[in-house]
Amino acid sequence: MDLSFFLFLSSGLFLGWSLGASDASNVFGTAVGTKMVKFRTAAIISSIFVILGAVFAGSGASQTLGTLGAVNTLPGAFMTALAAALTIYWMVKLSMPISTSQAIVGAIIGWNFFAGKETDIAVLGKIVSTWVVCPLLSGILAILLYQGVKAAIRHSHLHLIRQDCYTRIGLILAGAFGAYALGANNIANVMGVFVTSSPLHGVILPGGFSLSAVQVLFLIGGIAISIGVATYSHRVINTVGNGIMKMSPVMALVVVISQSLVLFLFASQSLQHFLLSHNLPALPLVPVSSSQAVIGAVMGIGIAKGGRELNWGILGRIGLSWIATPIIAALVCYISLFFLQNVFNQTVFLS
């Protein structure tokens, strides 16, 4: 395998690292912020489960991104991922509730424009609709869960100490599930653009396990996310845990479960097959934003509590990021591809 592959993959790995540092914090941020789970425990669990989710359930959402734009050369994929990463960096500096998914979608559209490929409007519409549905669904789930948990606590007469113990166990299990769902849903953002151009081959592991070429690629991306979690997520976790709204451990649990369920709903192929086989409407498998799912869940709890503590301005900022992030990413990608093609003489697309 050509060494240049890893050079080109570096932008995807950087994107993975930044996803681990920021988005993975959403999974355990509230748990660590409420001091119910130690950062070390959270980092170990999320690292393991992000990789498992990416490798074993990551293909669904990535196929949808592939239909939006199949970036067919390594330099093109490199620049698409880098454009998304740069946009994220910039938007984070502006304190926008950034979504890696929106950045990568914008960058892919930028590549489509540059390569003269047509963007499938139906697929784009499906993806954009999930940006609105994701925080909305997370909020609705949080309201239902919050009311359910509140009623259950009221009627069970659980001792406060026992409740604390159950909440702690619940946070760890929900966090593991959330990390798995994040890996499954968001690996498409990190490695999706490399799927078409990757020269990797499948491997057979000792014990009869085998990984396909895409799974090997997702394993590398998953490891990059884990490194992001281990090396840089501590600060972001503290912001997520304490920054949005003062939360009790039970509220933290509701937030983690809601956003994990939403990520899972948008990532699980087996759930989609199950729903379709029973003639039920299924959600599209699209990478969604864990940050916006968390914000949706927190807002949901705020509404359930009477809406007094809510900061409605943040909704406007999310709406703005739906428009600004993909446009900026598309522009950055288009301009960068131009330089990569004309200054560095790289083939950024195959016609």
251 contributes a contact to another protein by CB under 8 A: yes
Q: Give the separation between CA 272 and CA 288, rounded to whole angstroms.
A: 16
Distances from the Cα of 349 to the Cα of 75, 108, 139, 195, 298, angstroms: 8, 12, 40, 14, 42
169 contributes a contact to another protein by CB under 8 A: yes
Report helix, strand or coil for 210.
Answer: strand
Cβ nearer to another protein, comparing 117 with 305: 305
159 contributes a contact to another protein by CB under 8 A: yes
Q: Give the separation between CA 244 and CA 46, rounded to whole angstroms.
A: 21
158 contributes a contact to another protein by CB under 8 A: yes
Cβ nearer to another protein, comparing 33 with 97: 33
Find, among 51, 46, 276, the residue nearest to 184 by Cα. Answer: 51
Tokens of 23: 């988005």
Cβ nearer to another protein, comparing 162 with 235: 162
Ramachandran bin of 157, using left for φ above 0, alpha for ψ from -120 to 50, beta for the remaining angles: left
153 contributes a contact to another protein by CB under 8 A: yes
Task: Tell the smallest beta-carbon distance from residue 37 to another protein (Å).
Answer: 10
Q: Give the separation between CA 185 and CA 15, rounded to whole angstroms.
A: 15
Candidate ranges 62-70, 93-101, 124-132, 151-159; the one touching another protein (CB under 8 A): 151-159
Torsion, CA 148, CA 267, CA 88, CA 95, rounded to 10:
-10
Cβ nearer to another protein, comparing 34 with 268: 34
150 contributes a contact to another protein by CB under 8 A: yes
Task: Tell the smallest beta-carbon distance from residue 150 to another protein (Å).
Answer: 6
Cβ nearer to another protein, comparing 187 with 257: 257
Task: Tell the smallest beta-carbon distance from residue 186 to another protein (Å).
Answer: 27
Tokens of 297: 């869940």
36 contributes a contact to another protein by CB under 8 A: yes
Q: Give the separation between CA 236 and CA 179, rounded to whole angstroms.
A: 16
Tokens of 61: 């959402």
The amino acid present at 327, given as its one-letter code, is I
Which of 69, 170, 222, 249 lies at the binding interface for another protein (CB under 8 A)? 249
173 contributes a contact to another protein by CB under 8 A: no
Residues 6+ apart with CB under 8 A from 217: 191, 194, 195, 198, 200
Q: Give the separation between CA 88 and CA 100, rounded to whole angstroms.
A: 7
Residue 21, phi then psi, degrees to nearest 5: -70, -35
Which of 7, 94, 132, 165 lies at the binding interface for another protein (CB under 8 A)? 165
Task: Tell the smallest beta-carbon distance from residue 250 to another protein (Å).
Answer: 4
Please state the separation of Cα 275 from the chain's center in Å.
23
Cβ nearer to another protein, comparing 153 with 335: 153
34 contributes a contact to another protein by CB under 8 A: yes
Place of tokens 């966090």: 175
Torsion, CA 68, CA 72, CA 76, CA 82, rounded to 10:
50
Candidate ranges 173-181, 249-257, 271-279, 338-346; the one touching another protein (CB under 8 A): 249-257
Report helix, strand or coil for 289.
Answer: coil
Binding mask 273-292 for another protein (x = CB under 8 A): --------------------
157 contributes a contact to another protein by CB under 8 A: yes
Task: Tell the smallest beta-carbon distance from residue 253 to another protein (Å).
Answer: 9
Which of 164, 213, 216, 335 lies at the binding interface for another protein (CB under 8 A)? 164
Binders of another protein among residues 285 to 344 (CB under 8 A) are none
Task: Give the binding site for another protein (CB under 8 A).
Answer: 34-36, 146, 149-150, 153-154, 157-162, 164-165, 169, 248-251
